[in-house]
Every structure is written in structure tokens, then in C-alpha cells.
């Protein structure tokens, strides 16, 4: 494939220098931009729609995984990463490649060959990439924020601003003091990625920030309600009630 348009997303100058030098050996690849943070990565990928990106995982402002979640255009991805053998194995089972820093020119050439082959046969399968991203995300630490995309902006929500999360089929609605935000994630994802000292799944439809609970009310024979600071009342299931008792020590 000729005229491959590429973007490097990497906050470390030495790694950018290496990528830039190695790319000079491939005249068919045009380097459109070098980006050092996640916010600008989302903006420029959506504007430029590159064929190929070299994506670091740990970036300022947004992680590489958050970048992939927010972009409208899914290019072929070569990750540059320092993650452990489990993450590496996940990459090896998927179409996209990885570069484990520090990497050699030979290893870089191998990654380029895989990326070019993928481009040539037009097998840029975004579902495969998403599966890989979800797998790798599960290996990372707990969330310390939630990133949502609106029509005009990217919004970063600190966890202490999340009142509760409500299931909406394949999406969730995130409620904050300033409004609500729809996000394409499952309740299971948030149940396993939010700190359990702060967030409890009180019902199959709700995950609540316990800091916003002001009262637990006995509603009927086997039903309880969580009363929140803003007056919202959320139904509590039997298993949710047990979790709340453990978490709040009552």
C-alpha cells in the first residue's frame, strides 16, 4: 500500500526521536503529526483520519485506551508500551501489533510489515481492536476518573463528582451534580473498575457513590431505598443491601 498516513502519539521525546528515525526507512509512510497528549490525539485523529497510528498507553490528560474510546475513526494501531507479558500475549493474538520499549529497528520493521499487510487487505476490524482494548483495560488499575464525549467536547469527570450510574441497555447514564452523561460501557465494566470502597452496585440497574447516600429507607417488606443528597431514591436489591451493610458497617 502506498501513501500511508501515520501519526505518532507519544509523550516521551526519546521514543518520538526513535520512531521518527525508524520511519525514515519507509518512504511510503508520511508522518502527519507527533502528539504528546491524549486530548490533542483525539482531536487530530478525528480531523486527519490517519491510516496508521503509533500509540503510547500512558499519556498526559487521557490514556491511550481513552483515546481509542473517543475517536470516530479507527486506524491501524501499533501500540508502544511497557506492559507485562499478559498484555503482550493479548496483542499477539490480535491483528494490531505492539512495540515493547525499548525496541530495536528490526522489531519496528516487523511491526510495520504487520500493519502494512493489514492495511493492504483492508482488515482494519474495529471490533477486534475494541476487544483487545477491553482486555488490556482490565489489566490496568482502577479508574480514577470517567471520560465522556459530548457533541462539542471531551469531559473528564472526577469520581467524587459521580453520584450514581444507571444501566441503559448497552450504555450507562452517569449522573453528576452538573448533569447526566451517556457512555457506551457496561455496568459490569464499572462494577469491576470503580473503587469498591466508594462505589457499590446496589441493584442490577444502579451503582451508587456511597458518599452521596444520606439515608437507607425501608420501603416494603423486602425492599429498601437509598435516599441521595439530591433527593433521588434508588431501589436496593437484597444482594445490594448486603453489600451496603458490609461497606457502611451497619
Are residues 107 and 64 part of one domain? yes
How many domains would you assign to the chain?
2
Domain that holds residue 17: 4-138
> Could you tell me if 155 and 241 lie in one domain?
yes
What CATH number corresponds to the domain at position 134?
A: 3.40.50.2300
Predicted pLDDT of residue 173: 97
Q: Which pLDDT score is estimated for 143? A: 87
Residue 64 dihedral angles phi and psi, to the nearest 5°: -60, -35
In this structure, the answer to whether residues 44 and 163 fall within a common structural domain is: no
**One domain for residues 8 and 124:** yes
pLDDT in tens, 36-55: 999 999 999 999 999 999 99
pLDDT for 139-176, tens place per residue?
Answer: 556 888 999 988 778 899 999 999 999 999 889 999 99
Which of 116, 138, 160 is a domain's end point?
138
- Do 97 and 27 belong to one domain? yes
* DSSP tag of 108: H
Q: Are residues 112 and 150 in the same domain?
A: no
Residue 125 confidence (pLDDT):
55
Last residue of a domain, one of 120, 138, 156: 138
* Residues 33, 121 within the same domain: yes
DSSP letter assigned to residue 218: E
Residues 54 and 103 in one domain: yes
11 and 123 in one domain?
Answer: yes
The DSSP secondary structure of 32-74, one letter per residue, reads EEEE-SHHHHHHHHHHH--SEEEEESS-SSS-HHHHHHH-SS-
Q: Which stretches of the chain are assigned E, i.e. beta strand?
A: 4-9, 29-35, 52-56, 76-81, 97-100, 145-149, 154-158, 164-168, 171-176, 179-183, 199-203, 206-209, 213-220, 223-228, 233-236
One domain, residues 113 and 11 = yes
pLDDT at 93: 36
109 and 169 in a single domain? The answer is no
Handedness of CA 24, 27, 28, 34 (dihedral sign): positive
pTM for this one?
Answer: 0.68
Domain boundary among 138, 168, 188: 138
- Tell me if 57 sits within 8 A of 51, measured CB to CB: no
The pLDDT value recorded for residue 221 is: 75
Which residues of the chain carry a pLDDT beneath 50? Answer: 86, 89-90, 92-95, 123-124
Residues 189 and 100 in one domain: no
Q: The domain spanning residue 214 has which CATH number?
A: 2.40.50.1020
Amino acid at each position: 500500500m502506498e501513501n500511508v498516513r501515520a501519526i505518532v502519539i507519544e509523550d516521551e521525546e526519546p521514543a518520538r526521536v526513535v520512531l521518527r528515525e525508524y520511519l525514515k526507512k519507509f518512504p511510503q509512510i508520511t508522518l502527519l503529526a507527533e502528539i504528546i497528549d491524549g486530548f490533542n490525539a483525539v482531536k487530530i485523529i478525528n480531523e486527519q483520519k490517519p491510516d496508521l497510528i503509533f500509540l503510547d498507553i500512558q499519556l498526559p490528560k487521557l490514556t491511550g485506551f481513552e483515546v481509542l474510546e473517543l475517536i470516530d475513526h479507527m486506524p491501524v494501531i501499533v501500540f508502544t508500551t511497557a506492559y507485562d507479558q499478559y498484555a503482550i500475549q493479548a496483542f499477539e493474538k490480535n491483528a494490531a501489533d505492539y512495540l515493547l520499549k525499548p525496541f530495536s529497528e528490526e522489531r519496528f520493521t516487523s511491526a510495520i510489515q504487520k500493519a502494512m499487510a493489514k492495511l493492504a487487505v483492508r482488515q482494519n476490524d474495529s471490533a477486534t481492536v475494541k476487544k483487545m482494548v477491553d482486555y488490556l483495560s482490565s489489566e490496568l488499575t482502577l479508574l480514577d476518573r470517567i471520560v465522556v464525549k459530548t457533541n462539542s467536547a471531551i469531559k473528564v469527570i472526577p469520581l467524587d463528582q459521580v453520584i450514581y450510574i444507571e444501566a441503559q441497555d448497552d450504555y450507562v447514564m452517569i449522573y453528576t451534580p452538573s448533569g447526566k452523561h451517556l457512555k457506551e460501557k457496561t455496568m459490569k465494566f464499572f462494577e469491576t473498575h470503580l473503587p469498591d470502597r466508594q462505589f457499590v452496585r446496589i441493584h442490577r440497574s444502579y451503582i451508587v457513590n456511597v458518599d452521596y447516600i444520606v439515608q437507607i429507607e425501608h420501603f416494603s417488606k423486602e425492599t429498601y431505598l437509598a435516599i441521595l443528597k439530591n433527593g433521588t431514591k434508588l431501589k436496593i436489591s437484597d444482594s445490594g443491601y448486603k453489600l451496603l451493610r458490609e461497606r457502611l458497617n451497619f
